[in-house]
Structure 1
Amino acid sequence: MSIESTGYQTGFGNEFATEALPGTLPVGRNSPQRVAHGLYAEQLTGTAFTAPRHQNRRSWLYRIRPAAMHGEFQPFAHERFHNAFGAGPVTPEKLRWDPMPMPPAPADFVEGLYTVAGNGGPDLGTGVGIHLYAANRDMQGRFFCDADGELLVVPQQGRLHIETELGVLDVEPQEIALIPRGIRFRVTLPDGDARGYVCENFGALFKLPDLGPIGSNGLANPRDFLISNAAYEDVEGGFELLTKFQGHLWRADIDHSPLDVVGWHGNYAPCKYDLRRFNVIGSISFDHPDPSIFLVLHSPSDTPGTSNVDVAIFPPRVLAMQDTFRPPWFHRNIASEFMGLVHGEYDAKAEGFAPGGCSLHNCMTGHGPDAATFEKASAIDTGKPDYITDTMAIMFETRAVIRPVAQALEAAHRQRSYPACWMGLRKRFDPRG
């Protein structure tokens, strides 16, 4: 069984209205006494009712059955996917992993989720969970909902067909999908195998960053975000609803498909974005701007100018600054960085960082280009532009330390020799000039 896409609307944070059956949406009111076609009206809110209008996110759903109709929830075991980031010591060491192996046995999207690190939690209303997924079968007879945070899904290998209550997202590598907190969905795999990254945001909802001195254009354009049109299925049977709540999974029987929203209107909805449409901003004179110029989405914190989590990318671009070291410089940040490589090669590492792999550089941990990259970048002719092509990396940057979990630290695919890639940097100091 599969719901097919009925197309998309464009924009981020806009008010949308879409119906899969003509006459579904009420005119001039949200909750009429009798909804058309015998449907139920249900409001889904992602922010406080009294949030300022420009921040308020909510949608009205007109559905065949209310979301309250399901069996009793019972605990569901999934030891590899959690928010138990711990309170013990966190190593300041630089960490990197090879791509996560595909599962040896059949595993769907939920079964293939694997927690790497995180901070905060749903009980605190701040922080992130950082996960990987590796799956090789469709979700069958099962639906999933994350009540703890919104999910930013970054495919690295294989397409995802994501069927949600509010419509369908077809997502391929170098695109991202954003699924709001509380939305129920099912994932099928058109290519059989799929692998990628997931950022679970417990804090304020992702939004587009302000552009400030950049002006009115640049970075990710709102028109390039695609919002799913309404699509529904009216199916009865024996299904299960998995819900993540307070860091744990729960299971309930449900005798119908919850993907039964016939029409909806509002601004709280799944969307997707093609990272290749990002409008890169950079220097055309000298020096290397901060990586905030690569910001796609950010979740603000309670501290002005500081995000709960930033999502940045490093896409194809032209480096034209003269007399400048062009790769990312050596640096130590107050922020903590988790990186994944979606496609191609990353320009700050000569080898060892493969698509599907990831790295973690925590607060004030020194990092930057390896020895081979440094030597190459120090010798190039900066009078000519450097065209970086066929690449796409993504970074989740947080204000709090990202705590790696035990299974990631002990994983066989962790590169324990990773810190050695900087040991080839030789002493170059010469007091004579």
Structure 2
Amino acid sequence: MTNASTTELRYQSGFGNEYATEAVAGALPQGRNSPQRAPLDLYPELISGTAFTAPRHENRRSWLYRRQPSVVVGRYQPYAQPHWTTGGDRGIALPPEPLRWHPMPLGDTPADFIDGIRTLAANGDAETQTGIAAHVYLASHSMQRRAFVNADGELLIVPQQGRLLITTEMGVLDVKPGEIALVPRGVAFKVALPDGPSRGYLCENYGAQFRLPELGPIGSNGLANARDFQAPVAAVEEEAGDYELIKKFGGHFWRAPAGQSPFNVVAWHGNLAPVKYDTANFMTIGSISFDHPDPSIFTVLTSPSDTPGTANCDFVIFPPRWLVMEDTFRPPWYHRNLMSEFMGLVYGEYDAKPGGFKPGGASLHNCMVPHGPDKEAFEKASHADLKPHKLDNTLAFMFESRLRFIPTNWALQSPALDTDYADCWAGLKDPFKS
């Protein structure tokens, strides 16, 4: 790859900004988006991530100036992807019980990032642009001369083990555990594994694009700041040769040959771009008096639905933070939610499940399914000396959705499924004394 002035990766700051970047000086046209002849004889190409008439503050699009347009590709043929499911399978009868999976082993089957994706649970429908899917990826080697395009939704990538070097049409993102990446719907990308085999989580969002949540009474500062999101600068893959293009379209997968790299964008401008974000920059907010606030105060990104205040998906993190509340049970209380919760653990220990929830694992608590601290966590928190305490070296997250998650048959039959999960509450006795 090349860029304007250096071979080192550089970024542009901001979320939803109007970016402008060129890998070769003079490649960006001035004053118009599609001149009769673009500079350097490049091809202008528009990618629209929202409807043309979306309100200006919500409209997302970028102009790409490339050596060949993306329409130059061979005929598509079906591509087998048996473990990636789109939408919830209503035929699976799921009891209203909590579910948990131990960390998924990388396994003995070689797979790159795309072929290593496994769907744990999903809801909604990509055709109606509602809902999400929660996946894990188990990758053993880098994608080479192949790229992936998802026409069904944007991808929120949460690495858990190993860095990802994500090459996109707009440039390159280097994403390590503790950081996240967001790749818009329809943008081609490939993933290299500079640290070797890699594991992590994916949220495939069929609904409205992720955006920063409104802050309401919090005011103008707090949670994730737009300036801490980083978009890539323009870069061009110089190496010539054929490519394989994998495309997800309507829940089906297709492959086509291409005689050139899809990463041939010499310049681009607009506000539709892949970005990365370091969760260490999240400004946590919590109680400094008593009681335990709702997890909504930990929302990094939200995908709104047609019901105000009820998200298609909230991406919520539980990073290192101080606990100072007085006369308060500090871990999450026992609760049942309208919102369904898919949780993962990137590193460290989750305070409500200190022994049973491991990095790389996952849990699922669907709508109105009771859950909360296990017996060990409850007893420890109930008798703790409530001094200021910092939860450190930990990062958990949730994909919260208004829709019920339906696990896949692969997830329900996986050896990683913790069939004894409910036993963590069995020791909770009735201590009531009248």
Q: TM-score, normalised by structure 2?
A: 0.97
In structure 1, what is the equivalent of residue 316 of structure 2? 312
- Does structure 1 conserve the Cα–Cα contact (< 8 Å) formed by 2:87 and 2:126? no
CA distance in 1, matches of 2:362, 2:145: 32
1:112-151 CA distance string (max 9 Å, x none): 1001111112111110011000111011221111110000
Residues 242 and 261, structure 2, Cα contact 8 Å, conserved in 1: no
Question: What is the deviation of 1:224?
Answer: 0.6
Aligned residues: 430
1:319 Cα deviation from its structure 2 partner: 0.8
* Mapped pair 1:394 → 2:397: yes
Residue in structure 1 matching 2:39, options 24, 32, 36: 36
Show the 5 A alignment for 1:176-195: 176-195=180-199
Aligned partners of 1:125 and 1:111: how far apart in 2?
A: 24
**Gap change, CA 1:62 and 1:98, over 3 Å in 2:** same
Residues of 1 paired with 2:255 and 2:302: CA distance? 31
For 1:127, the aligned partner's letter is: G
Specify the code of the residue in structure 1 equivalent to 2:191.
V
CA shift, 1:5, in A, is 5.1
Question: Secondary structure in 2 aligned to 1:407?
Answer: helix
Query: 5 Å matches for 1:254-265?
Result: 254-265=258-269
Matching residue of 1:212:
216
1:410 corresponds to = 413
- How do residues 108-257 of structure 1 correspond to structure 2 at under 5 angstroms? 108-257=112-261
Q: Secondary structure at the match of 2:296?
A: helix
- Work out the CA distance in 2 between the residues paired with 1:17 and 1:5: 18
Report matched runs for 1:40-59 at 5 Å. 40-59=43-62
TM alignment of 1:13-28, pairs within 5 A: 13-28=16-31
Distance 2:218 2:385 in 1: 28
Give yes or no for contact 1:131–1:199 (8 Å, CA) kept in 2.
yes
- Asked whether 1:63 is paired with 2:66, we answer yes
Out of 347, 357, 361, which is 1:357 matched to? 361
Preserved contact between residue 2 and residue 23 of structure 2 (Cα < 8 Å): no
SS of equivalent residue, structure 1 residue 256: coil
Find the counterpart in structure 2 of residue 421 from structure 1. 424
Q: What SS class does the counterpart of residue 375 from structure 1 fall into?
A: helix
1:362-384 deviations in whole A, cap 9, x for unaligned?
000000000000000000122x1
For 1:2 and 1:191, how far apart are their aligned partners in 2?
22
2:291 matched residue in structure 1: 287
Mapped to 2, the partners of 1:112 and 1:82 lie a distance apart of 13
SS of the counterpart of 1:101? coil
Q: Once the 2 structures are TM-superposed, how far is the Cα of residue 239 of structure 1 from its aligned partner?
A: 1.7
Aligned with 2:422: secondary structure? helix
1:238 is displaced (CA, Å) by 2.4
Q: Structure 1 CA distance, aligned partners of 2:8 and 2:308? A: 39
Change beyond 3 A, Cα 1:59–1:2: closer
Return the alpha-carbon distance in structure 1 between the equivalents of residues 8 and 191 of structure 2: 13
Question: Could you tell me whether the CA contact under 8 Å between 1:5 and 1:168 is conserved in 2?
Answer: no
Q: Residue 84 of structure 1: CA displacement?
A: 5.2
Shift >6 Å, 4+ stretches: none
Q: Deviations over 1:236-276 (max 9, x none)?
A: 32221000111111000111100000000000000000011
The whole-number CA distance in structure 1 between the counterparts of 2:2 and 2:12 is 21
Instruction: Give the AA of the match of 1:413.
Output: A
Name stretches of at least 5 consecutive residues in structure 1 with no aligned partner.
none
Q: Distance in 1 between matches of 2:2 and 2:252?
A: 28
User: What's the counterpart of residue 379 of structure 2?
Assistant: 375
Does structure 1 conserve the Cα–Cα contact (< 8 Å) formed by 2:223 and 2:297?
A: yes
Instruction: Report sequence identity in percent.
Output: 59
Q: Secondary structure at the match of 1:427?
A: coil
Distance (whole Å) between structure 1 residues aligned to residue 240 and residue 254 of structure 2: 21
